[in-house]
Amino acid sequence: MGRVRILPEEVVSRIAAGEVIERPASVVKELVENSLDAQASSLSVTVSRAGKSLVRVKDDGIGIETDDLEKIFLRHATSKISRVADLNTITSLGFRGEALYSIAAVSDIILRSRARQAGLGSELHVRAGEKVTQRSLSMPPGTEIEVRELFFNTPARRKFLKSEETEFRQVLATFLPYTLVFPSLRFTLIHNDRVFLTLNPEENLMDRVASALNVPKRYLLEAEFDFPDENLHLKLLLGDINLRRVRRDLQFVFINNRPVYSRSINGLLNENYRKILPPELQGVFLVFILLPPEEVDVNVHPTKREVKLVRESLILSRLQAAVEKILLRQGKMKQASGRISADNFSGKVAEPTSGKKQAGLSEPAELPLAEKGTFLAERTEGDYSGSLREKLTGARYVGSFAAKYLLFESSRSLIVIDQHAAHERIVYEQLFRQLQEGRVQVQHLLTPLVLELSPEEKLVWAEGQKELERLGFSTTLFDSRSVALHSYPVLLQYPDISLRNLLSGGKLKHCDVETLARRACRQAVMAGEGLKAEEAISLKDELLKCEQPFACPHGRPVAVEIKETFMDQQFLRK
């Protein structure tokens, strides 16, 4: 080991820059947060070559005093905290005083600012952390900062930047969350001298989300929950079954107005979306959590992207109940559309892989509305109101199509039910409850049904005897390649297919009750089997009893609503 030495300031500054500034999007994040902390009402971000050549952020905030202009480029220079205790009650987006110091160490910066009460502004030029020039100038109140030649003196870091397309996607992904959490502000994003996004101030969050993300408001479910005794407030905007993405690019979590990533919170939301969407598709959600600042540690990572929560388990419990109330019980059915968007998915739907235990059909935690919390508001936009249950309850059966789809007339719309998906949902929920209660009703066979197994299926069968018995499948080894099935759950119409589904999905002993039930009920009723009118009506009535009638256990839609207005458009009626 060599002798210990103190690193020169130049090396220290570049190491610090590497911890905070990873790419142009990091610069955008730090500068935008500074503008928001400065009470800006209008904020514009301009980038050239995705920020590799230029990042410019301009705001109309309170500005910077001339005497403070040079100080802000010093390490740990900040106006937002002054003592250790302040770290426990942080309400600003920035606070460490490392951002401008780190950016200046690896770029060329021109900073212009005028405090609101000052007659003139000042301009400061800093390159590689060293002051070049400073002068007075006339300008409106606010701050404008230009960051050029990022990483010009750290070529190794510059070499690892991705293509302009990739880096600009990162800039956009960084910029977008702030436009959502501050809907009353004006935001502009310019790339290579072209206006990419302009967002005017909005009166409410729903309008800003719709305009910023370009999603229809009618597919968004909005609700607020207040828990005054727990100093906790939740606001949710959840996309229903009609908002389906191939990536998790429209999922946002905000804690005290700070965009964050939380493995537990994001995971909880995505687990719930697995109940209404196929595994290949992702949901759209925005979660806003307000709680006392001393219960949030935002100082766990240099980028402040990850946080620690003191009462994480309580927050997850309240959030789970809120999501179940809004998304799973009051969501809408899939809507027919005259267009196919790039987000729509077509192809084979795979069974979800087993992972952490999902909430399934277990009774959700009841929101303590009377004692601790208050359900403040719920709102959906557009001209389609009423849940699946409400519309199906009074729907009249009018026929079937292709021996697969059941047609029901409801007010001014036609509801089309996939009889296969609906029957799978019904059987799944009934089997799940029987499994939970330990009383699966079985059908015994007078003559065993013999199934030939592949080597992999035989291995899964040999290791999963206990789980199969728990499900109601009584089996014995028939010969070296086959097993004999002696009993099966009475709910299942095709026990041989159900058994193969169980054996082809991997080890059974690691599966929870929900996964076992989902595998077993697959192909519960085959498409192409014609149903009589009374059978179709009975299927609808049973579907209405389900906890989650929006999708089959594997994520396919159960029902699609075709509105009269949609049909009028197809026939060119006014």
Q: Pick from 228, 355, 213, 212: which is nearest to 279 by CA?
A: 355
- Tell me the mean pLDDT in the region 481-493: 86
Query: For the sheet containing 186-191, what is the strand order?
Result: 130-137, 121-127, 108-114, 142-148, 54-59, 42-48, 186-191, 194-199
Cβ-based neighbour number of residue 371 at 10 Å = 8
pLDDT value of position 230:
92
Backbone angles phi, psi at 248, to 5 degrees: -90, 50
Backbone angles phi, psi at 57, to 5 degrees: -125, 125
Q: What percent of the chain has pLDDT over 70?
A: 79
pLDDT in tens, 516-558: 777 777 655 555 677 889 889 998 998 988 888 878 887 788 8
Confidence of residue 10 (pLDDT cuts 50, 70, 90): low
> Is-contact 68 78, C-beta < 8 A?
no
* Alpha helices, DSSP H, located in 182-224: 205-213
How far is C-alpha 76 from the geometric centre of its chain's CA atoms? Answer: 34
Query: Is beta strand 482-489 parallel, antiparallel or unpaired with respect to 559-563?
Result: unpaired
pLDDT value of position 430:
87
Maximum Cα–Cα distance across the chain: 97
- Which residue type occupies 476? T
Q: Pick from 182, 197, 34, 195: which is nearest to 103 by CA?
A: 34
**Structural domains for the chain:** 9-199 (3.30.565.10), 205-339+351-380 (3.30.230.10), 388-561 (3.30.1370.100)
- Tell me the mean pLDDT in the region 110-118: 93
pLDDT value of position 379:
42
pLDDT value of position 386:
59
- Tell me the mean pLDDT in the region 275-281: 79
Q: What percent of the chain has pLDDT over 90?
A: 33
pLDDT in tens, 170-223: 999 999 999 999 999 999 999 999 999 999 999 999 999 998 988 888 889 999
Query: For the sheet containing 405-410, what is the strand order?
Result: 334-335, 559-563, 413-418, 405-410, 396-401
pLDDT value of position 390:
81
pLDDT in tens, 558-574: 888 888 888 888 887 86
The whole-chain average pLDDT of the chain stands at 80
* Alpha helices, DSSP H, located in 383-532: 388-393, 419-437, 455-463, 465-471, 495-504, 513-520
- Tell me the mean pLDDT in the region 122-135: 93
Bridge partners, residue 108, by sequence: 127, 148
pLDDT in tens, 406-426: 999 988 889 999 988 888 888
C-alpha to C-alpha distance for 477 and 553, rounded to whole angstroms: 30
- Tell me the mean pLDDT in the region 361-370: 34
Cβ-based neighbour number of residue 248 at 10 Å = 14
Backbone angles phi, psi at 56, to 5 degrees: -125, 130
Query: Is beta strand 442-452 parallel, antiparallel or unpaired with respect to 121-127?
Result: unpaired
C-alpha to C-alpha distance for 116 and 114, rounded to whole angstroms: 6
C-alpha to C-alpha distance for 475 and 268, rounded to whole angstroms: 37
pLDDT value of position 350:
35
Torsion angle, alpha carbons of 97, 98, 102, 108, to 10: -10
C-alpha to C-alpha distance for 167 and 24, rounded to whole angstroms: 7
Buried b or exposed e, range 90-118, using 16+ CB within 10 angstroms: bebbbbbbbbbbbbbbbbbbbbbbbbeee
pLDDT at 428 over 60: yes
C-alpha to C-alpha distance for 468 and 489, rounded to whole angstroms: 10
> Is-contact 124 156, C-beta < 8 A?
no
